[in-house]
């Protein structure tokens, strides 16, 4: 029965709603000040749950991240035709996919015409499905949170090449970019964090953005947990999976702490760990910030 619950969870995790939101009802942030606020940060999508704008965040020196340039998301394998039109309307020119080969094979992205698709695989979080099934079947005694704590540590220790390439692409190309993983919270969450840190956004505001996954996907999280319990005839304790489906502050703080222990500061991690020079950082800020 626990195995069945695990399979059901995996199905739920990749199944999206079928309702269609009219294109005219969706905000275009870049040239409309009325949409440049927190109420419109989460993008209305038919086939994803955690697609959002990174515009508007204030930097320590008083500038702001431009709207219409950076987007983070969960997977795009179930987006509708209207979603595709919407991404095109937003001016997105590049999609970066952090998922593993296995994840992409099972759920290939739907890439709208005219948008460049770039693969930057990070496998550490892609093995989470097997760990979820192990938890449901009682085959591990590890604390559930430890899986994502370990994953965030590995982003710093084992995937600097991927995150360097990601930042290098933002610096070298003038392309509004959407980047994503499966749930849009861990691998994409760390990518958003280091980008915002490089742009000069405060650590606390970066963590606040990271934690917004829980609010933006609250209904989806509850739906998944309820369905796991229902399909297991209430024999599975789905609540133990909550730390894996959402985010917790300790996850991103573990990544930050690991970077600080090894490099002295987050800024040094970006400069020395990711080989992004001060000149590169200034180019990034010139491109993505406004007064």
Q: Say if residue 73's pLDDT is above 70.
A: yes
DSSP state of 24: G
Degrees, nearest 5: CA angle 66-255-44 = 40
3-state secondary structure 77-109: CCCCHHHHHHHHHCCCCEEEECCCHHHHHHCCC
Which of 16-20, 195-199, 260-264 has the least mean pLDDT? Answer: 16-20
Cβ atoms within 10 Å, residue 17: 15
**How far apart are the C-alpha atoms of 39 and 55, rounded to whole Å?**
12
Q: In Å, how far are 91, 148, 286 from 166, measured between CA atoms?
A: 19, 21, 17
Domain ranges for the chain: 2-290
Q: Say if residue 108's pLDDT is above 60.
A: yes
Tens-digit pLDDT profile for residues 213-245: 999 999 999 998 888 778 766 666 778 888 888
Average pLDDT taken over every residue of the chain? 90
More confident call, 22 vs 142: 22
Classify 2-290 by CATH class.
alpha beta
The count of residues in the chain is 291
Nearest CA to 165 out of 185, 186, 209, 195 is that of 195
- Which residues does residue 3 pair with via DSSP β-bridges, in sequence order? none
Q: Indicate the pTM of the whole model.
A: 0.91
Provide the percentage of residues in the chain whose pLDDT is more than 90: 76
DSSP state of 179: E
Query: Are 97 and 118 contacting, i.e. CB atoms less than 8 angstroms apart?
Result: yes
Half-sphere exposure in the Cβ direction for 57 (13 Å, CA): 30
Query: Using only C-alpha atoms, what is the Rg of the chain?
Result: 19
């Amino acid at each position: 029965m626990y195995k069945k619950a695990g399979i059901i969870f995996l199905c739920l995790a990749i199944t999206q709603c079928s309702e269609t939101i009219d294109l005219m009802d969706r905000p275009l942030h870049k040239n409309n000040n009325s949409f440049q606020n927190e109420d419109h940060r989460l993008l209305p999508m038919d086939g994803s749950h955690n697609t959002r704008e990174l515009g508007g965040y204030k930097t320590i020196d008083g500038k702001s991240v431009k709207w219409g340039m950076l987007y983070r998301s969960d997977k795009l394998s179930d987006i509708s035709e209207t979603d595709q039109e919407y991404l095109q309307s937003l001016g997105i020119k590049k999609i970066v996919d952090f998922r593993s080969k296995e994840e992409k094979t099972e759920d290939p992205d739907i890439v709208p015409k005219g948008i460049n698709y770039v693969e930057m695989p990070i496998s550490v979080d892609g093995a989470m499905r097997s760990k979820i099934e192990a938890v449901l079947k009682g085959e591990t005694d590890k604390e559930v949170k430890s899986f994502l704590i370990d994953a965030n540590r590995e982003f710093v220790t084992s995937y600097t090449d991927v995150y360097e390439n990601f930042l290098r692409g933002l610096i070298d190309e003038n392309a509004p970019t959407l980047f994503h993983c499966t749930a849009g919270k861990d691998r994409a969450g760390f990518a958003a964090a280091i980008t915002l840190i490089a742009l000069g956004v405060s650590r606390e505001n970066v963590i606040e953005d990271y934690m917004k996954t829980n609010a933006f996907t609250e209904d989806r999280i509850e739906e998944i947990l309820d369905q796991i319990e229902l399909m297991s005839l209430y024999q599975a304790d789905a609540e133990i999976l909550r730390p894996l489906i959402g985010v917790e502050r300790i996850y991103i703080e573990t990544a930050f702490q690991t970077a600080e222990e090894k490099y002295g500061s987050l800024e040094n991690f970006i400069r020395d760990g990711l080989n992004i020079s001060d000149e590169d950082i200034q180019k990034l800020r010139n491109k993505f910030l406004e007064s």
